[in-house]
Amino acid sequence: MGGVLLLDHWHQARRKNCFGTASMKRTALFVVLSALAIGCSGGDDDDSAAAALQAPMLMKVMPMEGALHLEWMNMQKDCDAVEAERKMHNEAFEQVFSVPGTVDNKMDGAATEDMDYTYRLRCKKGSSYSDYSNEMSGNPTDEMAAGGGHG
């Protein structure tokens, strides 16, 4: 959890350091956080292809326009796609969207009920997948959670 909090601070910093010479600092920080992300991602490590791809880091699941908006960090820079899975209540995870590997946010316009939705992400490259990311949950009707959901 400490890692997630640290990353949340980093995410704020990311918004503030998108330009010019800040890129080098960002790269250095990225290396540190990449190591943290390995500890945060779940799943088995016995698949060498999967182990080679780093999972995204889910940063925010927050209410927006009556649905849920997800923001994440792509720890692997050359994914073909980022796939998201969602579960409600105690049901199984199901894929809800797939976006190009450079994208780091997406609104789930179907998540509109007054309930907790839980998400996880993974990177896809060719036929290989990363482990799943950390999980985060959010309720689209919970305006107090507009800052970011919970892990």
Partner 1 sequence: MKRWLLLSVFASVACGSSGQDEPGSPELPQLTTVENESDDPSKVEVSLEARVAQKRYLSDTSTPVWTYNGSVPGPLLDLSVGTELAVHFTNSLPEETTIHWHGMRLPAAMDGTLRMQEPVKPGDAFDYRFVAKDPGLFWFHPHVRSDEQVEKGLYGVIRVKGTQEPQSDQETILVLDDVTVSPDGSLPTYLDDESKMLGRQGNTLLVNGVSSPVLHWRAGSLQRFRIVNVANGRFFNLALEGYSWLVIGTDGGTMPEPYETEKLLISPGERYDVMLIVHGGAGDRVTLMNDPYERGHDTGQDAAMPVADFLVSDEAELTNRSLPSSFPMLERLDDGSVDHQLVLNEGLRKGELVFTINDATFPDVPLIQVPAGSIQRIEVTNESEMDHPFHLHGTFFQLLALNGQATASTKLANKDTIIVPQMSSLKLVARFDEPGGWMYHCHILEHAEGGMMGEIDVEQPQ
Name the residues that contact partner 1, by CB under 8 A.
12, 15-20, 64-67, 69, 71, 99-100, 102-107, 109-110, 112
Nearer to partner 1, 19 or 89 (CB): 19
What's the closest the beta carbon of residue 144 comes to partner 1, in angstroms? 15
Nearer to partner 1, 13 or 49 (CB): 13
What's the closest the beta carbon of residue 139 comes to partner 1, in angstroms? 16
> At 24, is the secondary structure helix, strand, or coil?
helix
The angle, 0 to 180 degrees and rounded to 10, between the axes of the packed helices 22-40 and 2-16 is 160
Nearer to partner 1, 51 or 103 (CB): 103
Residue 123 and residue 61: Cα distance in Å, rounded?
A: 18
What's the closest the beta carbon of residue 122 comes to partner 1, in angstroms? 18
Q: What does the angle CA 38 – CA 43 – CA 49 come to, to the nearest 5 degrees?
A: 75
Tokens linked to 139: 């309720």
* Residues 118/87, Cβ–Cβ less than 8 Å: yes
Nearer to partner 1, 50 or 86 (CB): 86
What's the closest the beta carbon of residue 15 comes to partner 1, in angstroms? 5
What's the closest the beta carbon of residue 65 comes to partner 1, in angstroms? 5
> Please, how many CA atoms are within 13 Å of residue 128, restricted to the half-sphere of its CB?
14
Nearer to partner 1, 6 or 49 (CB): 6
Q: Which of 6, 146, 1 is CA-nearest to residue 73? A: 6
